[in-house]
Amino acid sequence: MVLGQVVRLHGGFYFTRELTTGAVHECSRRGRLAKQRIYVGDRVLLEEAPDGKFVIKEVLPRKTVLMRPPVANVQQSAIIMSVKEPEPEFRLLDLFLLISITGNIHPAICLNKIDLTPADPYFQELEAYRNIGFRVFLTSAKTGEGVEDFRQWLIGSVSVLAGPSGVGKSSLLNAVHPGLRLRTAQVNPKTKRGRHVTRTVELTPLVDGGFVVDTPGFTNIQTPDISLSVLADCYPEIAAQRGKCRFNNCSHTTEPDCMVQKAVAEGTIPAFRYSHYVGFASEIAKRERTRY
Ligand SMILES: Nc1nc2c(ncn2[C@@H]2O[C@H](COP(=O)(O)OP(=O)(O)OP(=O)(O)O)[C@@H](O)[C@H]2O)c(=O)[nH]1
Ligand SMILES: [Mg+2]
Ligand SMILES: [Zn+2]
């Protein structure tokens, strides 16, 4: 038996890298595993059949799982937005943050394409994220500005790059790791949106150590299936008010004597983040009402 990690799925095969030698094998799965899904990032036990073909015998327990796109065992996520073409969507950023935090995947934020326009128009939002403890990178895959900081952050970890199509995820990885040659394409000149260039999920080794997963851009993701109290805990600025509201089970939306609503009114909790919270909370409440 050999320990390996799935790096790519293609044509019904699982391309798997041996952890010791780094050799990549095209593997099929053992029949008994037919019902179990295998993700990129999964650690698996391989066996070489007498005919020289490799078979996945067992999928080892996952430390983390990201569902959209399906990737197992990532440690950190870079949520990429661009300052322009397309413009940043902070609701989507908050949703990606939520998915990361609830999945135990350490997030960071990256605003790319700063050569197109300075990040200044988003100064308040970026400060808000920094103030609650998120790492924020400002990069240009085109000029290389900020790329070195981002590269340092990737070293030694298994990271996933997420974000809408066209923000420059693949371009940024090409800048981080020259020679990677991931496919990129211009955004649609009319809509300023990406063209969904990256179609596959692939785990790529970095020269300095660590792995990174480029992903297809997407925007239609659902609010994770969590409770209202977990949602509040995913917002550091809301979690900081825990236990201070009049009601123990305060949802921080309409209740009286709510310290969160008070902090929003006073401006200590950013209104844009809070409005996304209210939106997510209402989706979660609706889901809970229709569950039984
Ligand atoms: N000016 C400028 N253009 C950039 C930058 N980064 C990426 N681009 C351009 O933006 C377009 C989209 O880049 P991609 O890297 O394909 O974007 P992506 O996020 O991987 O998109 P999908 O694979 O569709 O999800 C390309 O034309 C890139 O050259 C940047 O920092 N500055
Ligand atoms: Mg791409
Ligand atoms: Zn409250």
**For 276-291, how does the pLDDT look when each residue is reduced to its tens digit (9 = 90+)?**
999 999 999 999 888 7
Helix/strand number for the chain, H first, E second = 8, 13
pLDDT at 43: 96
Residue 81 near ligand 1, beta carbon < 6 Å: no
Mean pLDDT for the chain overall = 92
Structure-model confidence comparison of residues 52 and 61, the more confident one: 61
The pick from 85, 160, 184 for probing ligand 1's pocket by mutation, whose C-beta has the most ligand atoms within 8 angstroms, reads 184
* pLDDT tens digits, one per residue of 146-171: 999 999 999 999 999 999 999 999 99
CA-CA distance, 227 to 220, in Å (whole number)? Answer: 21
Among protein residues, the one whose CA lies closest to atom 23 of ligand 1:
198
The pLDDT of residue 31: 76
CA of 127 to the centre of ligand 3 (A): 24
Segment 189-219, tens digit of pLDDT = 787 787 777 778 889 989 889 999 988 887 7
List Cα–Cα distances, 133 to 48, 80, 126, 176, in angstroms.
Answer: 47, 17, 11, 24
- pTM of the predicted model as reported, rounded to 2 decimal places: 0.92
Dist. CA 292 → ligand 3 center (Å) = 26
Q: For the chain, which residues make up each domain, given as ranges?
A: 2-61, 66-214, 228-289
Give the CATH class of 66-214: alpha beta
**Minimal CA–CA distance to 25: which of 34, 37, 10, 15?**
15
Give the model confidence (pLDDT) of 98-145 as tens digits: 999 999 999 999 999 999 988 788 999 999 999 999 999 999 999 999
Tell me the CA distances in angstroms from 36 to 3, 29, 158, one per residue in order: 18, 10, 23
Q: Which pLDDT score is estimated for 2? A: 92
The CATH superfamily label for domain 228-289 reads: Probable gtpase engc; domain 3 (1.10.40.50)
Q: What is the CATH number of domain 2-61?
A: 2.40.50.140
